[in-house]
Amino acid sequence: MDLQLTGRTALVTGASRGIGLAVVQALVAEGANVIGSARTVSPELADSGAHAITADLATPDGPGELVHATVAAHGDIDVLVNCAGGGDATDLRAFFDYDDALWHKTFDLNFYSALRTCRAAIPGLIRRHGLIVNISSVGARLPHNGPVPYNTAKAALTAFSKALAEEYGDQGVRVATVAPGPTRTPVWTAPDGIGAALAAAQGISHDDLLAGLAAASGIRSGQLVEPEQVASLVAYLASPLAASMTGQEYLVDGGLIKTI
């Protein structure tokens, strides 16, 4: 299927690995002019065919500087995908042991980075009748299940996306939220990720935890989500074929969330 993305300009944050990198690769494959942003440019991002640019989006000025540099070099943005996130998502301390500094740090990376990037990009997105996709998490619907600051920040991002879609819909801007379930990314697979931390807390091996994670999480497909599965949905949402899809949250979770 031709998604009609040839020549469109897409900015993807958090693009060095995991879901962000998969989104970059999917959009490049569809012919888009892709700018991939990360704090550190990974070899995979450098080889993806995207224009790589470094930026620290957890700082107040980082998102605006990124958008300004992108527009200066490539023109207005047609598609903005906010994938930057994570950070202390591996921190599993007790509820009230999270101090204010960690809450602020988590919100800066997982909420304010997207808000500030949207704010900087919205004038061009209005001109281009563009799309914003914010990558949230099923943790927004399961606030008790995992690091509370991370899940709360993702819940804020999901609510923000809904409000943004309503605010700018009549100006031609679409906004969608994509909420993956546990995904086979370094967050789960790396030795310093949340998977390793959970395995240590449960007294089992990292490999055993990953092998049983889908069943333990209630994922009906029986498999972890793959980054490419999330990326394929993002690419479709970016297409003119999805012109009537806005204001919604799309779960890619293998059936983990059971509620309507």
Domain that holds residue 194: 185-224
What percentage of the chain carries pLDDT values higher than 90? 85
Q: Residue 62 is part of a domain; what is its CATH number?
A: 3.40.50.720
Give the pLDDT of residue 260: 85
Quick check: is 111 in a domain?
Answer: yes
**70: its two tokens:** 């992108």
Same domain, 245 and 189: no
Same domain, 163 and 219: no
CA distance 251 to 196: 25
Which residue from 245, 228, 144, 135 is spatially nearest to 184, judged by alpha carbons?
228
Same domain, 125 and 206: no
Quick check: is 155 in a domain?
Answer: yes
Residue 188's pLDDT band, with cuts at 50, 70 and 90, is confident
CB atoms within 10 A of CB 227: 21
Give the pLDDT of residue 144: 78
Same domain, 68 and 197: no
Q: What is the largest CA-CA distance in the chain?
A: 54
Same domain, 157 and 52: yes
| The model's pTM | 0.95
Same domain, 145 and 217: no
Quick check: is 259 in a domain?
Answer: no
Q: Identify the residue with better confidence: 117 or 217.
A: 117
Same domain, 119 and 214: no
Q: Identify the residue with better confidence: 86 or 139.
A: 139
Same domain, 121 and 214: no
Give the pLDDT of residue 88: 55
Quick check: is 172 in a domain?
Answer: yes
Average pLDDT over residues 175-184: 96
Same domain, 98 and 147: yes
Q: How many domains does the chain have?
A: 2
Q: Which residues are catalytic?
A: 150
Same domain, 163 and 206: no
Same domain, 70 and 190: no
Same domain, 34 and 45: yes
Quick check: is 157 in a domain?
Answer: yes
